[in-house]
A = this chain, B = another copy of it.
Amino acid sequence: MSDERKVAKKGYFHCHMPTRVIFGPGRLSEIGDVCREFGKKVLLFSDPFLKKVGLTERVIGYLKKEGLGVTTYDTIKSNPLCTSVDEAAGILKEEKCDFVIALGGGSTIDTAKAAVVVASNGGKSWDYVWGSDHEPVSVTDVSYSIITIPTTSGTGSEVTPWIVISNPALKGQKAAFGDYRLVAKVSVVDPELMVSMPPALTASTGIDVLSHTLEAYVNVNATPLANMLALDAIKLAAENLPTAFGNGNNLEARAKMAWADVLAGWTISHAGTGLPHAMGMAAGGLYDIPHGVSIAPCLAKWMEFSLASSLNKFASVAEAMDNDVKNMPLRKKAEKSSELVKQLLKDVALDVTFSDLRVTENDIDYLVEVVYTRFGGDVESCPRKPTREEVAELYRQCL
């Protein structure tokens, strides 16, 4: 996939969206039928909240009704740890499961994907991450099919090849890796499952959708496919996130955010992310901040920083977010994009600074180092490639 991205500049691109998406309220009940072709025994990944509210049991019921054997791994927490992944991989092998289902948010889906890598290839999950202190081990085999059932609308992980995990032994550092064979075979996207998300989680995951698509759309790896997906998702997020945040029971807004998240996942699968993700993940690793929240402080400032390098694209972002700007002159319209993002952050109570998230001036040198060593690809792909000093200054402006 990285090779494909390298040649994007020559007018080459590729499309790879193999996940069969089954979308609609109530479609969770089809999960048993969906799984029949993948084997007899499944490891179901889930989290303590979904267990508590009975959703895990409901899924187990649908699976058992089809005669499937089910083992669960349901202790996953936000910002999943490499140690948890390794534990799950052990269970996957010991229990001789045929395939996996990830029921949950990005943390659960990433844990499931990473466990498949470890169970298929051996070693430890941290061996595979990019930009760490060691050469990453290559993924050779992917021996288990992955089915995803997202319960948040944020990470896009239900359709992407990407994984982000944290290492508790290294100050909780986050790192990413991925392989195109880890893309889910099927994703059941049922907006009814998102209704239970509290407003704060709706906001942080929704801002993740917005930032995925914004960063990918303006970055230098954007392809015709990514451009189309991104603009549609930006429009959906701008129109529906405040509604879903204000009234979590609005199923139409939930459905539109869930669909925007699928589009955003496909977008970053083809064009990657950009500097806000790198800056946010560096901070999020240090202070265990929810992923979407960690990106919020720098999103609009980074847009202002990048604006002049891609006026047409930022103007299109503004138009996708607010049709009323359509007759403005180009520069004005482009400038409007960061204002609209600031307004949206305020509307969902995420107008936060890095200081609000405990980051201090003293952390900045360390964070800049993490941005460049672990998320260098996100810097390289920016429409205005920043220097180290400029990244430090962006952190400073967002304290």
Q: Which residues of A contact B (CB under 8 A)?
A: 7, 10-25, 27, 224, 228-229, 232, 255, 259, 262-263, 326-327
CB-CB under 8 A from A224, the residues of chain B are: 259
Contacts of A255 in B (CB 8 A): 11
Chain A interface, DSSP helix/strand/loop, else mixed: mixed
**Given contacts A228-B228, A232-B228, A326-B326, are A23 and B27 in contact (CB under 8 A)?**
no
B24 and A10: CB pair below 8 A? yes
Verify B14–A20 contact, CB threshold 8 A. Answer: yes
Tell me the smallest distance from the CB of A235 to a CB of chain B, in Å.
10
Q: Nearest-CB distance from A252 to chain B (Å)?
A: 9
Q: Is the CB of A16 within 8 A of B24?
A: no
* Min C-beta distance of A125 to chain B, whole Å: 27
Known: A11-B24, A17-B17. 16 other contacts (CB 8 A): A10-B24, A11-B255, A12-B23, A13-B24, A14-B20, A14-B22, A14-B23, A15-B262, A17-B18, A18-B18, A18-B20, A228-B228, A228-B229, A228-B263, A326-B326, A327-B327
Could you show 22 A-B contacts with beta carbons less than 8 Å apart? Answer: A7-B24, A10-B24, A12-B27, A13-B24, A14-B20, A14-B21, A14-B22, A14-B23, A15-B17, A15-B19, A15-B20, A15-B23, A15-B262, A16-B20, A16-B21, A17-B17, A18-B18, A18-B20, A224-B259, A228-B228, A228-B229, A326-B326
Distance in Å from the Cβ of A217 to the closest Cβ of chain B?
Answer: 14
Q: Which residues of B contact A13 (CB under 8 A)?
A: 23-24
Residue numbers in B under 8 Å from A21 (CB-CB): 14-16
Closest residue of B by beta carbon distance from A187: B15
Nearest Cβ in chain B — how far from A9, in angstroms? 11
In the complex, A259→B326 CA distance in Å?
Answer: 26
A326 to B259, CA, bound (A): 26
CB-CB nearest 4 A-B residue pairs = A12-B24, A15-B21, A17-B17, A18-B18
Residues of B within 8 A of A25 (CB): 11
Q: Which residues of B contact A14 (CB under 8 A)?
A: 20-23
A18 to B184: give the CA distance in the assembly, Å. 12
Residues of B within 8 A of A327 (CB): 327
Collect the chain B residues with CB atoms within 8 Å of residue A229's CB.
Answer: 228
- A30 to chain B minimum Cβ distance, whole angstroms, is 10
Closest Cβ of chain B: how far from A156's Cβ, in Å?
14
- When chains A and B are docked, how far (Å) is the Cα of A141 from the Cα of B20? 20
Q: Tell me the complex Cα distance, A395–B204, Å.
A: 55
